[in-house]
Amino acid sequence: MTAILTDRIGLHDFVRRAHDAGELVVQPRMGFGLPERMRAGLVATKTAPATTVGTLTLDSYTRIGDLAAVERALAAGSDLNGYPIASHPLGTTRAMLAGVRDAGFPVQVRHGSATPSHIFAALVAAGLDATEGGPVSYCLPYGRVPLEESVREWSRCCELFAHLREHLPVEPNLETFGGCMMGQLCPPGLLVALSVLEALFFRSRGVRGIAVSYAQQANPVQDQEAVFALRRLCAELLPDTDWHVVVYAYMGLYPVTPRGARRLLTAAAELARATGAERLIVKTVAESERIPTIAENVDALTHAATRQIRPAEPLADPGADSETYQQARAIVDAVRDVDQDLGRALLHSVKRGYLDVPYCRHPDNLGRTRSYLDRDGTLRWADPGLMPIGHLVPRRRSRQVTSAGLMDALGYVRRKFDSFEESAPEPILELR
């Protein structure tokens, strides 16, 4: 691992220094219920031959606030699918981190909660200074928590988190999940807009260290355009904020073959390098089957960080002329015009359909938008609904979406990367 050693530094400063040294920071999705196993996972991540950030991914019971279920599982010795940070004693978590987290190895908490007050209370008490999520991106896709409740909770949590700088020698860092929300079916203009809007929400609640996210999709040219648009919007709208970009390896159905999984991860690393993204969240060869082992996570980190992976030939930054930038900017501007308070603006924009995630079944999501995959994997709008991009999107006659068509589109990337024929033509996959 490249040595980046000083006194304790925050996640953003660590990532920035690595980027300046020519390193892509790589990070696993990793969480275990037993403290000793969680520590072993962090140690393995830290000692991997890569520049790494550690992850505490929390369990699903903690995510939804069912701490009684966590207690029952712990009492029964049952395995959990993540680390129950709000249920293990504070001393246990501190001991698990002691001697592992340091200036050369930040640790981020990842959770997925729309109502995360208990999680923020636990991570702040443990002195952890990096986490992620967002009031929209951790509400709409994952359950039925009212968006109003999520916005209220996230406002309180951001304000609590921002106060950490008064007690720690580092700037706390909060990463928006907005650029990853159901990303395999969501055209990138909306994903980029959501990532920027959640970053603006964090900033309005006092957070100054921010990471903005984008999930790899099915077309590398469109992905490059999206990351460039994200970077441009952050430079324009977050000038007083320390921000960096994190790319996620594909969030949808993953290839079932080890060769296909590695090809897709290689493409994600190439995307990050071609666009100057500073950090990459990896996936493993086991993603299509089960929770990966520690060894499989280390293998993915090593593969993504190898210097043999070179950037795909990057596009010149198309700037304000790109389709993704224009759509994202129109959405961001329309939402900001709704209300001076970003929380109320997000809430009312979802109700009005200015933010409308295709195929999302949350009761607060208007559900009028439709998207489709073009023959080359480019995501396009079939119907933008009431979003403020109608003047930018050629309107198609909206058609009913069949379950077969939906599953066909969801499997596009899996089929593409599991195929042994590099030049095999892909069928047109439209969500009708």
Return d(Cα 43, Cα 20) in angstroms, integer: 25
* H helix or E strand, kind and range, residue 283: none
Cα distance between residue 266 and residue 271, in whole Å: 9
Per the CB < 8 A criterion, the answer to whether 152 and 176 are in contact is no
Residue 358 placed within a domain:
no
* 3-state DSSP of 298-338: HHHHHHHHCCCCCCCCCCCCCHHHCHHHHHHHHHHHHHHHH
Structural domain of 123: 11-305
* Amino acid present at 321: D
CA gap 223, 214 in Å, rounded: 9
Domain contains 430: no
Is 421 exposed, middle or buried (CB count within 10 Å of its CB: 0-12, 13-18, 19+)?
exposed
Number of H helices, E strands in the chain: 15, 10
Tokens of 253: 């159905």
* Beta-sheet strands, E only, within 102-208: 107-110, 130-133, 173-176
In a domain, 409, yes or no: no
Whole-angstrom distance, CA of residue 208 vs CA of residue 221: 31
148 is a domain residue? yes
Separation between Cα atoms, residue 429 and residue 312, nearest integer Å: 25
In a domain, 363, yes or no: no
The neighbour count for residue 408, using CB atoms within 10 Å, is 16
Please tell me the distance from the alpha carbon of residue 284 to that of residue 303, in angstroms, as a whole number: 10
What's the domain count of the chain?
Answer: 1
Ranges of H-type helices in 65-138: 67-76, 90-97, 117-125
pLDDT of residue 425: 41
Cβ neighbors of 249 (< 8 A, separation 6 or more) are 216, 264, 265, 268, 280, 281, 282, 283, 304
In a domain, 264, yes or no: yes
Q: Give the pLDDT score at 267.
A: 93
Q: Mean pLDDT per 10-residue run, the chain (432 residues)?
A: 52 95 95 96 97 97 96 92 97 96 94 96 95 96 92 97 88 95 86 98 97 95 96 95 96 89 93 94 88 93 81 67 95 98 98 95 94 89 94 70 75 83 41 35
Q: How many residues does the chain have?
A: 432
Pairing of strands 379-383, 370-373: antiparallel
Phi first, then psi, for residue 209 (nearest 5°) are -105, 115
DSSP 255: P
Residue 260: per-residue pLDDT: 92
Q: What is the pTM of this model?
A: 0.92
Q: Is residue 240 part of a domain?
A: yes
d(CA 288, CA 264): 13
Sign of the torsion angle spanned by Cα atoms 67, 167, 29, 193: positive
Q: How far apart are CA 257 and CA 389, in angstroms?
A: 39
Q: The domain spanning residue 16 has which CATH number?
A: 3.20.20.240
Q: Which amino acid is at 300?
A: A
Question: Per residue in 308-342, is it b (16+ CB within 10 Å) or e — as a string?
Answer: ebeebeeeebeeeebbbbbbbbbbbebbeebeeeb
Residues facing 26 on adjacent strands? 52, 280
Amino acid identity for residue 383 in this structure = D
Q: Is 390 a domain residue?
A: no
